[in-house]
Amino acid sequence: MAVAPPSYCFVAFPPRAKDGLVVFGKNSARPRDEVQEIMYFSAADHEPESKVECTYISIDQVPRTHAIVISRPAWLWGAEMGANEHGVCIANEAINAREPAAETEALLGMDLVRLGLERGTTAKEALDVIVALLEEHGQGGNYYEDADSCHSFQSAYLIVDREEAWVLETVGKYWAAEQITEGVKCICNQLSLTTKIDAEHPELRSYAQSQGWWTGEDEFNFSEVFSSADDHLDCCAGKDSIEKKEESITVQTMIDILRDKASGVCIDSESFLTTASVVSVLPQNRSSPCIHYFTGTPDPSRSIFKPFIFVDDVKLVPKAQSPCFGDNDPAKKEPRFLEKPDRRHELYKAHEWARAVIESDQEQGRQLRKTMLELEKQGLEAMEEILTSSDPLDPTEVGDLFYDCVDTEIKFFK
Domain range enclosing 213? 6-411
How crowded is the C-beta side of 188, counted as CA atoms within 13 Å?
A: 24
Split at pLDDT 50, 70, 90, the class of 233 is: low
| CATH assignment at residue 228 | 3.60.60.10
Q: What is the pLDDT of residue 377?
A: 98
281-316: burial string, b at 16+ Cβ within 10 Å, e else:
bbbbeeebbbbbbbbbbbbbbbbbbbbbbbbeebee
pLDDT digits (tens, 9 = 90+) for 271-321: 899 999 999 999 999 999 999 999 999 999 999 999 999 999 999 999 999
pLDDT at position 37: 98
Any domain includes 338:
yes
Q: Where does the pLDDT of residue 240 fall: very low under 50, low under 70, confident under 90, or very high at 90 and above?
A: confident
The pLDDT > 70 percentage for the chain reads 98
CA atoms of 300 and 304, how far apart (whole Å): 7
What is the C-alpha to C-alpha distance for residues 260 and 273, in angstroms, rounded to an integer? 13
Q: What average pLDDT does range 341-366 have in this prediction?
A: 93
Mean pLDDT over all residues of the chain? Answer: 95
High-pLDDT (> 90) share of the chain, %? 90
Residue 198 near residue 161, CB atoms below 8 Å? no
Residue 307 domain flag: yes
Give the mean model confidence (pLDDT) for residues 100-107. 96
Q: Has residue 225 got a pLDDT over 60?
A: yes
Q: Is residue 310 part of a domain?
A: yes
Residue 223 domain flag = yes
Q: Is residue 66 part of a domain?
A: yes
User: How many independent structural domains does the chain possess?
Assistant: 1
Q: Is residue 335 part of a domain?
A: yes
Q: What is the pTM of this model?
A: 0.97
Whether 9 sits among the annotated catalytic residues: the reply is yes
> What is the average per-residue pLDDT within 21-38?
97
What pLDDT, in 10s, does the model give residues 156-174? 999 999 999 999 999 999 9
pLDDT for the residue 246: 80
267 found inside a domain: yes
- Domain assignment present for residue 196? The answer is yes
pLDDT at 348: 98
Tell me the per-residue pLDDT of 67-92, one tens digit each, with 9 for 90 and over. Answer: 999 999 999 999 999 999 999 999 99
Residue 339 identity: E
Which pLDDT does position 6 carry in this prediction?
A: 83
Which residue in 249, 248, 268 sits closest to 260, CA to CA?
Answer: 268
pLDDT at 300: 98
pLDDT for position 346: 98
pLDDT tens digit sequence for 393-412? 999 999 999 999 999 999 99
pLDDT tier at 2 (50, 70, 90 boundaries)?
Answer: low
Over 70: is that where the pLDDT of 235 sits? no
State yes or no: pLDDT of 58 exceeds 80.
yes
pLDDT at 231: 61
Residue 229 binned pLDDT confidence (cut-offs 50, 70, 90): confident
